[in-house]
Amino acid sequence: MWFKNLCLYRFYKPLTQSVEQIQEDLQKHKFRPCGKLEMFSYGLISPVDKKHDELFKSIDGYLMVCAQKEEKVLPASVVREYVDEKVQEIEDTQMRKVRKKEKEEIREEVLHDLTTKAFTKTSKVYAYFDLKNNWLIVDSASRNKAEELTVLLRNCLGSLPVEPPKTHTLTSNILTSWMTENPPPADFSIENECELRDLESDGGIIRCKNIDLTSTEITNHLEAGKSCTRLALNWDEKFSFLLCDDLSVKRIKYDDLVLDQAEQSDDESVEAQFDADFSIMAMEISNFLPRLMEIHGGAIEKDSGLGNSQ
């Protein structure tokens, strides 16, 4: 359950619903399996496990949710192969050419037939609301999947006043500065992975991993005008991660001291361990995000009355 990615959204207005109302609203889009003719189904499940019915987990002002997507596995190449076989059979037996419109009708019939027989695959996306500090945090390396979850939550709650955070300083400017002019603050340390990009052209992307980022080769690229758009960092010896120029945080690896805190509970039940993991993870992230905003010169807030630049 430990989040490996942080796709960040800021609340520009507070949620007005109570925790009880949120729970009721989430039931509107509870997950159900795909129907025979449906290509996918998407809805909310318990973030703890299948034995729990509640569609969120609440701890100390943090609300965890989990969306599950079930999709039919129906490759385009398979559909094309079946269509081609049927077209060839008609042309051979009826001695005529199958035209475009008829081929489209055959394709629809094939899709209908194969959809009812197709295997399915499932995927999950976790997220939690930090209602104290006005964040929605999605554990996804894909912005599209995170957006899909926000649409689902908006449909449940009626409104979801969030947007990706905007900061006074661009992430790429900060990361480039740390690699060239100014070392990072004491609580951040640079590790051994980066991406360098020429922001003024369509090409010129260099990805480096497991090498010395202070080497002459890297320095030459930076001096030639490339910007650092991804950089592997460690924060305060709590976790390592890859900071990206869209302000997303990827591939988090938590320090053993953080993980050990969650293992000190004497209660070995699944829910108790989930609670311990969630509480400690959310606490560490809630400490990290204000620092992330601070090194960016603060978040640019809408005139919403929240008055919080964490």
| pLDDT tens-digit series, residues 42-74 | 999 999 988 888 899 999 889 999 999 999 998
Would you state the pLDDT for residue 268? Answer: 73
Measured distance CA(75)–CA(93) in Å, rounded: 28
Top-tier CATH class for 7-73+120-163 = alpha beta
Query: pTM higher than 0.85, yes or no?
Result: yes
Would you state the pLDDT for residue 116? Answer: 87
Q: Which two tokens stand for residue 2?
A: 């430990």
Would you state the pLDDT for residue 249? Answer: 98
Mean pLDDT of the chain: 91
Would you state the pLDDT for residue 309? Answer: 45
Q: What is the mean pLDDT of each run of 10 residues along the chain (310 residues)?
A: 95 88 92 91 93 88 96 91 92 91 92 88 96 95 97 95 96 95 94 90 82 88 91 96 97 92 77 91 96 95 57
Would you state the pLDDT for residue 301? Answer: 80
Would you state the pLDDT for residue 200? Answer: 75
C-beta of residue 308 within 8 angstroms of C-beta of residue 134 = yes
Neighbours of 298 (CB within 10 A): 14
